[in-house]
Chains A and B, each alone.
Chain A
């Protein structure tokens, strides 16, 4: 089914090259793409003229797969999309099914969902900072961030039984109740995070080399961010106040106090700062909830076979990367007729050509790194 990788040369590239131009391939296997992303870059000297992403190396057609799975099953395939926000992807799907069933989720389940989502968000941002700093040549932050991320993974493993693809959400709530040690462990994580994150900030935020490589690099204006459909920290660093948790609250976010982290510079450093501030906000959200998890059911009673009425349902959530939309077209059966996942990475990637054109090839790693691309999320 898969043809061999087409290596793009001057002959096969679409537009004829001018004199002095050079085409290079970054990827599909490249240490800085963190996955199988293939970028075909046209250079003139060291200046980028054009970037063309070639996708599909990890395309599994999750949308087509979901069409033959029932409303209980398809939720778990989406863990394999953006595997760093697996919980939040599952939540979007579960919420879409609940919207179709007009199902009320118990309060305890909603609070558990929010805590889990925010823990996932911190874990995802931690991994991103480590990986991005490594792309820019700083090796130590990787170990610092993985120390905190490991604690979150252990907490997840204890309650959900898995570390990465947790499969914890079901339509109507969560699959099991919290582990008895959950609250204590999350509290100790909050303490750990607060005392250790300053180490990370000392190492990266005020690092002059890091600043030189990111400030003013890969600038995306507010109008462009909207036009390219960027969401999440990428859009917020450009001044777009599009946090779904604030604008279209779900699962009880409307009752919580947190700030939408916005920067207006739109460069790589702004995207870094937005994510750092978001981690503090996530911790703030967890602190508000961890002592106030209501008693009660963790799952609403549902029928064994779920059928959605004929119609269309769209839900959106804020994953660590931006707005994930789940669009279900139902014909009234037990399986969805058509599912579309509006993945944040796909739209964020489409802005890369615009952001990096005209800059130097050395700056590409900072621009691409701060987009926080997760390739399975883009290919689906």
Chain B
């Protein structure tokens, strides 16, 4: 029931949104250029105030940013996905909306090479500053320290 309400809400908010069902929660795919506006509306209109998981998945043909959002009031959960071009992954930051995104986006930046426009401090967080390449991508190779199973 809740899923249907959310679906109607997203269809009105973003006509290009596509839905994936079958998982535990509703998964909504939105275009990268509208993500910031949608994010602002999600926290003000639907009270999705807790961004509990931000990550990126490399599907070899494209990258997908995955945002897990939950409302602390109602426990309503939604998964937002954004498909990005593998050669030029650019998406707007949401670190000013959910502050936890700042660190998570820095991690996605160094591990997958996703560029977050508007991020206050987009530098490497975990890897050394002179590290080259994006180690969590599927085609990453590092002959010395990587053991293939």
Contacts and interface: CB of A to CB of B under 8 A. Distances in A.
Interface in B13-31: 22-25, 27
B38 interface: no
Looking at A6, A240, A313, A347, the one whose CB has the most chain B CB atoms below 10 A away is A347
A329 interface: yes
Contact of B53 (A1, A54, A248, A340): A340
Interface in B28-85: 49-53, 55, 57-58, 66, 68, 72, 75, 79
Contacts of A56: 125-128
A242 B129 contact: no
A229 B149 contact: no
Interface string A1-35: 11100100000001000000000000000000000
B29 to A, nearest CB: 13
Contacts of B66: 327, 340
B82 to A, nearest CB: 15
Interface stretch (A60-68, A120-128, A180-188): A60-68
- Chain B's interface size range is 35 or more
B100 A325 contact: no
B53 A227 contact: no
A264 interface: no
A327 B66 CA distance: 10
A69 B147 CA distance: 12
A311 B23 CA distance: 7
A327 B25 CA distance: 13
Contact of B72 (A3, A226, A338, A342): A226
Contacts of B55: 327, 338, 340, 342
A303 interface: no
Contacts of B87: none
A59 interface: yes
A263 interface: no
B128 A3 contact: yes
6 contacts: A227-B100, A316-B52, A325-B68, A337-B57, A342-B68, A350-B100
For the complex of A and B, the 8 pairs showing the least CB-CB separation, nearest first, are A229-B100, A56-B126, A340-B55, A68-B149, A3-B128, A350-B103, A342-B53, A227-B99
Interface of A: 1-3, 6, 14, 54-56, 59, 61, 63-64, 68-69, 224, 226-229, 231, 240, 242, 247-248, 311-314, 316, 323, 325, 327, 329, 337-338, 340, 342, 346-347, 349-350, 354, 379
Given A1-B128, A323-B52, A342-B68, 15 more contacts: A1-B145, A2-B128, A3-B128, A59-B126, A64-B135, A68-B148, A226-B49, A311-B23, A312-B27, A316-B52, A329-B57, A349-B103, A350-B99, A350-B100, A354-B99
